[in-house]
Amino acid sequence: MKLLVAIKRTIDYNVKVRVNADNTDVELTNVKMAMNPFCEIAVEEAVRIKESGVADEIVVVSAGPKQTQETLRTALAMGADRGIHIETEMELQPLGVAKILKAVSESEEPGLVILGKQAIDDDSNQTGQMLAALLDWPQATFASNIVLSDQGAEVTREVDGGLETISINLPAVVTTDLRLNEPRYASLPNIMKAKKKPIEVKSPEDLDVDIKPRLIVLKVEEPAKRESGVMVESVAELISKLQNEAKVI
């Protein structure tokens, strides 16, 4: 079985995000970029599935500018076999990415598509669901455990009330949650091997996909600073402040 894993290049999660001077976006100049953490989990799960003998090939795909190939090389170093780069300078929104992944899925014919549940830059949590709808495939979102078999997949999902386990037929789309696994660090030998692994470069036009943005960002602002807390001397004083100042009781 072939696995298709979608990954995204985002600002490194250790970097403090700052709004740019004209409030149109966050500052990206000279900012460290990395693979979205949820995408790392998706790649790790694909590698584990392949190591178990269920899958025989892992294809990673990502869309974005030329620098996106660095992120693809990271996924190849983790254990993916080959990469597909959809090169574009255009702003990418969830629907556009879902259309790209639909076209790639129809070409590659994977048995399972794995994505991170969301990206830490826009927190949209939409691409996986849109992709499943466009492909008319079963979907399992927020996966914390995946068990594959000849009949399909059994996926344990993170839901508001706890955990939910569902069975789905393949091919399917699965989005990963934090508790699914802990991604491995790429070893130096694997990093060197990744440099020789193939990355196919295409454009949205090659896929005959319209990725024109449907949403317009009007303004980007930093959240308001929270006021510091107040120490109280007693429970009575706390209750008084909640009643008279905060007016929450």
In this predicted structure, the answer to whether residue 106 has a pLDDT above a threshold of 80 is yes
Q: Where are the beta strands (DSSP E) in the chain?
A: 2-6, 9-11, 33-35, 57-64, 82-87, 112-116, 139-148, 153-159, 162-168, 172-176, 199-202
In this predicted structure, the answer to whether residue 150 has a pLDDT above a threshold of 80 is no
pLDDT at 94: 96
Give 93's contacts (C-beta < 8 A, 6+ positions apart). Answer: 124, 211, 213, 214, 215
In this predicted structure, the answer to whether residue 133 has a pLDDT above a threshold of 80 is yes
pLDDT at 247: 84
In this predicted structure, the answer to whether residue 28 has a pLDDT above a threshold of 90 is no
pLDDT at 195: 94
pLDDT at 166: 96
Give 142's contacts (C-beta < 8 A, 6+ positions apart). Answer: 117, 157, 158, 159, 175, 177
Percent of the chain predicted with pLDDT > 70: 100
What pLDDT digit, counting tens, does each position of 191-229 carry?
A: 999 999 999 999 999 999 999 999 998 999 988 888 888
CA atoms of 57 and 68, how far apart (whole Å): 21
Q: Please report the domains of the chain, with CATH numbers, ordered by start residue.
A: 2-244 (3.40.50.620)
Percent of the chain predicted with pLDDT > 90: 84
The band of 170, judged by pLDDT with boundaries at 50, 70 and 90, is very high
